[in-house]
Structure 1
Amino acid sequence: MIFSNEKQIEKFTTLGHWGGDTIHQILATNSCNKPTSLALKDQPNRFELTGDNPISLNWIELEQASENLAIQLQKEGVSVGDKVIIQLPNIVELVISYFALSKIGAIASPIPVQYGKQELQYISKTLGGKVILTIAHFKNIELADQIKNALPTIKVLVFGDDLCLDSTSHQKLEFTPESNANRVLTICWTSGTTGTPKGVPRTHNMWLATAKASAESSKLHVDDNVLCPFPIVNMAALGGILIPALLHGCSLTLHHPLDAKLLLKQIQDDGITFTVAPPALLNQLAKSKDMWNLYDLSSLRRIGSGSAPLSPWMIEIFDTDFSIDVVNMYGSNEGIVLYSTPENTPSSTVRATDFPRPNNGIFFETKVADPLTGKEFTSSGEKGELLVKGATIFEGYFENSEEVFTKDGFFKTGDLVEICGDDGNYYRIVGRCKDIINRGGIKISPVEIDIFLEGFDGAIEAAVCAYPDEILSEKICACLVLSEGNEPPSLSKLQSWLLTKGLSKFKLPERIEIFNQLPRNPIGKVQRFKLAEDVLSRASLTSK
């Protein structure tokens, strides 16, 4: 499946953004250059998660393990262009599967372990997948049985039963397809604003262009040890960690699901130099220096975060107290790549929320426009939809006729941004176009209020959503997760506190709802549409 058209291939190849290497060819190069260096290892608690002992592989072992898996998949009938669904947690089998499928020219379609019957059936029907790769169980989820019950007609190959990992055998592939970096490597799935996943095909070249930008922001080099706690099923981990680590020959240590104490212990024990973590965890660690100081974290040089605005005070603490650089990351499965680093944004206040506008022509170009009229905005303070095009950007959703590109080829991201800075040289993500709250005709960004709520005493998570109002169309509800022992605050107390912090009166929440946890997608983004649905259902119940 060659997704890119000839014109795009010629353009980005001429510019030097695309080349001829596939991910399995880069793996082979690393195997030759540093065969006995650590390439990949499981989390130390793997036995508790899957019932299997942790696996550690050097580069030549990783190369051979992927070759042997590719041989097994060929014998199961998997061939060039076949679409293979993968439902695996962050274990070595997941990484090996990407390389194995790359070797035989098949397409990997990874999905989170949280996906159940509904998502499995929807994705399988949409994709037309031939095979599903999985394991018997992960924690309390019986993955293999769940898949077999949901999809009785699909071939399910289970590691440990149908497939084995072997890094010593020296068999050869029955058929080796011609390597092509413009062949689709993955079809990942967006969570969307409506909850219906959409398939995003991306080629080797698209991923490698993304990885080059990511590696620059994290300052990776060949001796780095990288820790990945995000599920390797989408942009954050594939484009931000796995493929950048591969490009630079870094060792990759896995972690999943997120456990703060184990994460810190892995950083200490494995000499981790770069990792990523969600904003809520970084805030927790910044407030819990005692926990941080239990470990020797002197190896950690830089940490990335994203999916929501960061807190300036947290960045300051990591810089001054821990001597660790925090990078603000913003990306998507479709190929958006923005990074705010200490080099391009020294101010922690600016870095927490803003991203330098990329120089057009370096991997991709951007502009901001009115989402309804298409009128372009260029001045600082103006807000509109972020539009992007370039070497990292996909070329359309899989089997989906939705028009998501402008006439001049820019992808309409659906993200609302404000042009910031004295010269308009920064973007600030202020929400999704569809998330904007319409209170009496005044458009309000929920993300802006989220940032204010982060520091509210007693709240460990906070976000706002809209709820219907007959007069104003929509009002604002504050959704809070409280730390143990804290009582729900009164609305007047919350409003008074927000006013003291500088929030405008017309943006004040007019309702509070308490949650045990906020609904998030697999990479940690708050699913505001689910918040709104829950808040609406609570109102209905109250009225009965």
Structure 2
Amino acid sequence: MRPSPPERVAEYRRRGWWRGQTIDALFRAAVAVRADAEALVDAPNRQALAGTPPQRLTYAELDRRVDALCHVLAGLGVGRGDVVATQLPNLVEGVVAFLACARMGAILSPVAMAYRGHELRQILPSVEPKAYITVGEFHGCDHAAMLVELKAEGVTAAEIVSLGAAPPAGAMALDVLMAEAPAAPFDTPADLDAAEALTICWTSGTEAMPKGVPRHHDHWVVNGEALVEAAGLQVGDTILNPFPLINIAAIGGMVMTWLLAQGRLVQHHPFDLPIFLGQMQDEGVAYTVAPPAVLNMLLQNEALLDGTDLSKLRCLGSGSAPLSPWMVKGWQERHGVTVMNVFGSNEGTSLFSTGEAIPDPELRARYFPRFGAQGVNWPAAFPAKIRTRLVDVDSGEEITEPGREGELRIAGAMTFDGYWKAPEITAQAFDDDGYFRTGDLFEIAPDGGGRYYRFVGRCKEIIIRGGLNISPAELDVLIEGHPKVREASCAAYPDERLGERVCAVVALRPGESLTLEELNAHLKAHDIATFKLPERLRIVDALPRNALGKVLRRELSGVVAA
């Protein structure tokens, strides 16, 4: 499967935007020159996550591990173009699975650990994975047992492989399969092309169904190149990854940067501040990411950093919520660390407020460079591979003057080509000129000489909780299935740590009452991911609607905040 039209592939390679180089070729090149260097490191709490000790692998050891998993997957019937699904915490196995799929020409489809049967019943029939790699008990859910049940329902025919020594009946132990795998190299198909699909990641928008985002090798390489340049990474740098390996933030922002820098990737999961700070010091981390609230807290409580050696740390990425100018300035002045403001999405929205593009830390917190805007040039290489513009939501007119908000639209080398098996949604996602409609509102900043964007808000009705997208439409439908509910609509309310949380606004049937606990018990019975559960409930007489009967979700903000 090739996500990009051949003419786009040819044009972007002619321009030098895409290399035409596979991920496996990049990995083999790193192995050739860094064989004995440490490549991949587990978090120190792996024992609690997977029941086995933390692992530290050199490039040569990782290469052999990738070969072994290729043999295992091939033995399970996985071939070129077949899908391998994973549902894993941040363990070395997630990276091994990504590299194994790249080596054998398979397609990796990673799903969030929080996904349950509700989401998996939508995803798995769509991608039809040949194999599913997961763990057992994790945060109150036995994932391997859940998959066995789904397989018995006919949701999937995948061979189920589980980490740990005692998988449930119907699943196989990955450690046993790896130990029995041939100790021989696995040959990549000689004609494997970098335009062949490598991943299908999942995202949520205004639609109730999760949407698959296919990407090929060229997509991933250019995304990694952008972050290497933006973060100023050097050969051999250590990168600390707190993101689950399920989307562009982790794969493009962490795994690909590690691979291109031929450095060391240190895994972290779930977010635990003492462990995170310990890893930053003990592993000599040069680049990592953290939520704005965490970076704020560390500056406000310097005692938390007492005794922590951050001398190797050069850059911190942050985003998903507005950054405080005092925080960005504080990290730069007190610790010599550049905080890079990041705005991105699975579909390829890529704006990075780097220290080079915006040296002033307070401006960097508030603005994003107008990468790819006509007539605005930047010294770095990757902005030339991006195209952006602002469009008036009502008139469709392109906005070129400061102070007027419009939807950010983006095209270029980092942007995806369309959703998985969803031609109608794909058609709506792009405008007539091929720009992706991000659903995010920006304005050209009045100061800065027209070189900066300022984020205003969203015109798409998604809720972003801790970096994870939640479709309010999906929740609305499920909540309206409650026997006490007449109508419902979910909206976001701000949260300092997670950016946003979910509030359910509900109109009840006559004579009924409802608690948040009752509502969430109803939703849990539908087996939805726990991060989607509302954390606030507001009861109203009726939902605000326009003349056509559509719920005015923006007008719910006052109700939610009450």
1:364 to 375, 386, 409: 386
Structure-2 residue corresponding to 1:387: 409
Sort the Cα spacing of 1:167 and 1:132 in 2 relative to 1 into closer, same or farther, 3 A.
closer
Q: Equivalences for 1:167-178 in 2 at 5 Å?
A: 170-173=183-186, 176=189, 178=191
Are residues 395 and 479 of structure 1, via their aligned partners in 2, closer, same or farther at CA, if it must alter by over 3 Å? closer
Contact in 2 for aligned 1:345/1:351 (Cα 8 Å): yes
Find the aligned partners of 1:19 and 1:481 in 2 and give their Cα distance. 40
Aligned residues of 1:74 and 1:174 also touching (Cα < 8 A):
no
The equivalent of 1:434 in structure 2 is 460
The answer to whether the aligner puts 1:408 opposite 2:433 as a matched pair is: yes
Q: Deviations over 1:26-55 (max 9, x none)?
A: 111111111000100100111012111111
CA contact (8 A) 1:85 1:133 kept: yes
Give the equivalent residue in structure 1 for 2:280.
Answer: 267
Code of the aligned partner of 2:411: K
Summarize the alignment of residues 240-319 of structure 1 with structure 2, pairs less than 5 Å apart: 240-319=253-332
**1:25 alignment partner in structure 2:** 25
Q: 1:141 matched to which residue of 2?
A: 141
Q: Which residue of structure 2 aligns with residue 157 of structure 1?
A: 161
Q: 1:337 to 1:481 in 2, by over 3 A?
A: closer
1:9-29 CA-partner distances (Å, limit 9, x unpaired): 111001101122111111111
2:106 aligned with 1:93, yes or no?
A: no
Deviation at 1:297, TM superposition (A): 2.0
Contact 2:41 2:55 in 1 (8 A): yes
Q: Within 2, Cα distance between the matches of 1:282 and 1:337? A: 22
Deviation of 1:258 (Å): 0.2
Q: What SS does the aligned partner of 2:335 have?
A: coil
Task: Give, in angstroms, the shift of residue 386 of structure 1.
Answer: 0.7
- Of stretches 342-351 and 231-240 in structure 1, the one that deviates more from structure 2 is 342-351
Q: How far does residue 535 in structure 1 lie from its aligned partner after superposition?
A: 4.1
Q: 1:432 to 1:538 in 2, by over 3 A?
A: same
Paired amino acid for 1:429 = F
How far 1:193 sits from its partner (Å)?
4.1
Contact 1:88 / 1:133 at 8 angstroms: preserved in 2? Answer: yes
How far 1:427 sits from its partner (Å)? 1.1
Q: Output the CA distance in 1 between the equivalents of 2:305 and 2:287.
A: 16
Contact preservation (8 Å) 1:103, 1:177: no
In structure 2, what residue type is equivalent to 1:244? T
- SS of 2:69 mapped into structure 1: helix
Letter in 2 for 1:418: E
Q: Within 2, Cα distance between the matches of 1:194 and 1:8? A: 28
Q: Show the counterpart of 1:350.
A: 363
**Deviates most, 184-193 or 58-67:** 184-193
Query: Residue in 2 aligned with 1:461?
Result: none
Percent identity for Structure 1 against Structure 2: 37
Shift of 1:136: 2.2
CA separation in 1, counterparts of 2:85 and 2:299? 38
Q: 1:64 to 1:478 in 2, by over 3 A?
A: closer
Q: Distance in 1 between matches of 2:257 and 2:217?
A: 12
Q: Which runs of 5+ in 2 are unaligned?
A: 165-171, 374-382, 466-471, 473-488, 498-515, 518-529, 543-558
Q: TM-score scaled to structure 2, two decimals?
A: 0.77
Q: Which stretch shifts more, 293-302 or 20-29?
A: 293-302
Contact 2:240 2:267 (8 Å CA) reproduced: yes
More moved, 167-176 vs 29-38: 167-176
Kept in 2, the 8 Å contact 1:80–1:177? The answer is no
- TM-score normalised per structure 1: 0.80
**Contact preservation (8 Å) 2:439, 2:459:** yes
Residues 322 and 76 from structure 1, CA distance in 2 versus in 1: closer, same or farther, beyond 3 angstroms? same
User: Do residues 114 (structure 1) and 139 (structure 2) align?
Assistant: no
Cα distance change, pair 390–312 in 1 and its aligned pair in 2 (3 A): same
Supply the RMSD in Å over aligned alpha carbons. 3.0
User: How many residues align structurally?
Assistant: 465
Task: Tell me the amino acid that sits aligned with residue 220 of structure 1.
Answer: L
CA distance in 1, matches of 2:298, 2:313: 14
Aligned to 1:340: 353
Other structure's SS at 1:321 match: helix
Shift of 1:173: 3.3
Hey, what's the Cα distance between the residues in 1 that align with 2:419 and 2:399?
27
The secondary structure found in structure 2 opposite 1:305 is strand
* Cα offset, 1:190, TM superposition: 0.9
Q: Are 2:205 and 2:460, in contact at CA under 8 Å, matched by a contact in 1?
A: no
Q: Are the structure 2 counterparts of residues 38 and 87 from structure 1 closer, same or farther at C-alpha, using a change threshold of 3 Å?
A: same
Contact 1:41 1:56 in 2 (8 A): yes
Over residues 461-503 of structure 1, what are the superposed CA-to-partner deviations in whole Å (9 max), with x where a residue is unaligned? Answer: xxxx9xxxxxxxx9x9965689xxxxxxxxxxxxxxxxxxxxx
Gaps in structure 1 of 5+ consecutive residues: 437-445, 451-464, 466-473, 483-513, 516-526
Which letter does structure 2 place at the counterpart of 1:356? Answer: P
**Following the alignment from structure 1 to structure 2, what is the Cα–Cα distance between the partners of residues 298 and 220?**
15
Residue 502 of structure 1 is matched in structure 2 by none
Aligned to 1:376: 398
**Structure 1 CA distance for aligned equivalents of residues 372 and 437 of structure 2:** 19
Measure, in 1, the Cα distance between the counterparts of 2:367 and 2:531: 21
* Partner Cα distance (1:414, 1:272) in 2: 35
* SS of residue paired to 1:227: strand
> Is the 8 Å Cα contact of residues 242 and 268 (structure 2) preserved in structure 1?
yes
Q: Distance in 2 between matches of 1:332 and 1:201?
A: 13
Q: Which whole-Å deviations, capped at 9, do the CAs of 1:233-273 have from their partners, x for residues lacking one?
A: 11111111110110110100000000011100011111111
Amino acid of the structure 2 residue aligned with 1:248: A
Matched, 1:125 2:151: no
Q: Secondary structure in 2 aligned to 1:362?
A: helix
Q: Note the C-alpha offset of 1:299.
A: 1.8
For residues 207 and 538 of structure 2, what CA distance do their matches in structure 1 show?
16
Residue 417 of structure 1 is matched in structure 2 by: 442
SS in 2 for 1:352: helix
